[in-house]
Structure 1
């Protein structure tokens, strides 16, 4: 249970609000039979490269990480198509949001919560996705790692939410579909709700979610129960 009623709701972007596999799905006919494998590898390498760059102290923004990880995925699939590469990168800047997202964000905003995105993505990339999905009216802010030059799960990233909405950290409900992200945010002290869209299992790491949902639909009800 929440230690106290949250005053803000902060959301991871990729995989939580936006379907990271919708870019390849949109171009499935051109990618071909390896579309699912390309999409999975592309996503996995995005994560690995953010973690490795953080450890190496060799920051590059997420636009560069996205391109490098796509190059790896296409090379692994033996696909050499510069036009397709360009179109996939463009599609990633216009990812589809999950169906319940606009309604949930609207409800939370109307109920008086602070609402923001906390993302590894660049400001420009995230503004593009937000505009494509039409959810900008329900957001107070988009918090990115650009100014920090380090990626999640660095505690400095999660501190951005506290800097924006005020302490205590436990008064901020953080939602992510990524179990590793939940571990990092919970260890920092945010009150975490794991959006377990793919029926995964928790990581064997410090930091556990307070609640688990299969999608975001039940979040307003969960938050309302925290006032009882």
Structure 2
């Protein structure tokens, strides 16, 4: 699945947000004073339930903003792991989630893509206010041309309407969009939709058996500019 030839004909670079640009592990890591050795398990369970709830709500047609999904998933994880549920820890974790830091490769990659003339955008399940706080907090607002939330279509990835949102708002055909996600299921769905995809396999995951085939598999976004001729 790893491509050897660079992307061609790309006009826009679209990124997933959480896990691709922003490190979702940062919230629990910042609370290790309370969480101790449960910081890692909390991160994993919180993220797993967050995704599961978005998929299940999408299937049921019962959309709520991703902020609520994130809070519901956290409540489940705190209870499951026997962690304090007095509201203090929850509020601290949720507030930290709003201003997650980026992975180290992100600012330089976005800067290089902008300088090379590519349109840059986020396409995320995140609520508009969540994404605004994360983008501004990380200082990425000048490096992104568009920040697109599923709020506009009131569904979640991998609904095809989400990927169509990027095509519509950017005014760029799917085949001229390079889509990057660290979530393999997201990468496959974008590819099946018709986008050109680089799966940023940050976590050394096994490949999925799903429709679509990412054109490239990279371990870091730092590999992306070379694929786009922007090295």
With the length of structure 2 as denominator, give the TM-score of the two structures: 0.95
Partner residue of 1:63? 67
CA contact under 8 A between 1:2 and 1:191: conserved in structure 2? no
Is structure 2 residue 60 aligned with structure 1 residue 36? no
- The alignment partner of 1:86 has SS state of helix
Partner residue of 1:134? 139
CA positional deviation for 1:32: 2.2
Is structure 2 residue 183 aligned with structure 1 residue 183? no
CA contact under 8 A between 2:197 and 2:214: conserved in structure 1? yes
For 1:163-182, what aligned pairs fall within 5 Å after superposition? 163-182=168-187
CA distance in 2, matches of 1:216, 1:113: 15
CA distance in 1, matches of 2:19, 2:66: 15
CA positional deviation for 1:31: 1.5
CA distance in 2, matches of 1:164, 1:217: 26
CA displacement 1:174-224 (0-9 Å, x = unmatched): 000000000110000000000000111221001111001101001111101
CA positional deviation for 1:2: 6.2
- The alignment partner of 2:180 has SS state of strand
CA contact under 8 A between 2:24 and 2:97: conserved in structure 1? yes
CA distance in 1, matches of 2:227, 2:196: 12
> Structure 2: which 5+ residue stretches go unaligned?
none
Match of 2:25 among 7, 21, 24: 21
With the length of structure 1 as denominator, give the TM-score of the two structures: 0.96
